[in-house]
Amino acid sequence: MKTGKRYRKGIGTIGMEKLTDLPQAIDRLKQSATAKFDETIEVAMRLGVDPRHAEQQVRGTVVLPHGTGRKIRVLVLTKGEKEREAREAGADYAGSDEWIKKLNEGWLDVDSIIATPDMMGEVGKLGRVLGPRGLMPNPRSGTVTMDIAKAVREVKSGKIEYRVDKAGNLHAPVGKASFGKEQLLANVETFLREVMRQKPASAKGQYVRSVTLSSTMGPPVRLDPSAVQVGLKA
């Protein structure tokens, strides 16, 4: 596969060895994020689970202490007093029938959708539209709730959802290249600890098999998963 000059230069800066020190990995990652825009920093993990078994489907949500650096557009599907509550909490859009109609017509200019339980009869009909985009409200992720204000504030402040795929991989954004080292370190550690906390009891062998940090345009920084886990427990 052909790669650009910036990517090849980044590999020279980073090196391809597995690092045992998370702060050092973040230093190298920031050095290689040289694009003209503010690159997103992501964590990718390969887990020793078999997602074909329901009890090994690692998924959940976590609020990053310093957010993701993105402006999150939130739609709240609700009625009555809860609509006012949503707007006061910072929701970009709030309402019921008019937004259900727009979603049915293909409007998806939003990053997160929250709904009150009474709306799920109508929202459920949008599964084919919202499901593939990861926008379907779900009680497990806290996006189907009566506490609309809390849900909106969490999403706006940096709450992310993660879910292992069919191959046992998961990834998530943990900040921007413009973040300070300590901000990125806190976000990455928070995410890794949450994934480790979600280890299924039925998972056998090594749980975290690989951990990789990367920026949008730069090469990956590979971490020694055993060393990272020990460091997080320290």
The CATH T-level fold of domain 5-68+159-233 is Ribulose 1,5 Bisphosphate Carboxylase/Oxygenase (3.30.190)
Q: Do domains 5-68+159-233 and 74-156 have the same CATH topology?
A: no
* Predicted local confidence at residue 234, as pLDDT: 61
d(CA 217, CA 10): 9
Segment 178-229, tens digit of pLDDT: 999 999 999 999 999 999 999 999 888 899 999 999 999 988 999 998 877 7
Q: Quick check: helix, strand or coil at residue 105?
A: coil
Cα dihedral: 151, 154, 159, 161 (round 10) = -10
Average pLDDT over residues 49-71: 92
**Contact by Cβ (8 Å): 53, 202:** yes
Range from 29-33, 56-60, 134-138, 229-233 carrying the lowest mean pLDDT: 229-233
Provide the residue type at 117 as one letter: P
Domain boundaries, the chain: 5-68+159-233, 74-156
Segment 110-150, tens digit of pLDDT:
999 999 999 999 999 999 999 888 899 999 889 999 999 99
Q: What is the pLDDT of residue 12?
A: 52
Question: Which residues are registered as beta bridge partners of 176?
Answer: 40
Beta strand ranges found along 122-233 (DSSP E): 159-163, 169-176, 208-215, 221-223
**Class of domain 74-156 (CATH, top level):** alpha beta
Up-side HSE of residue 31: CA atoms within 13 Å toward CB? 14
Both tokens of residue 144? 């189907």
Phi and psi at residue 117, to the nearest 5°: -55, -35
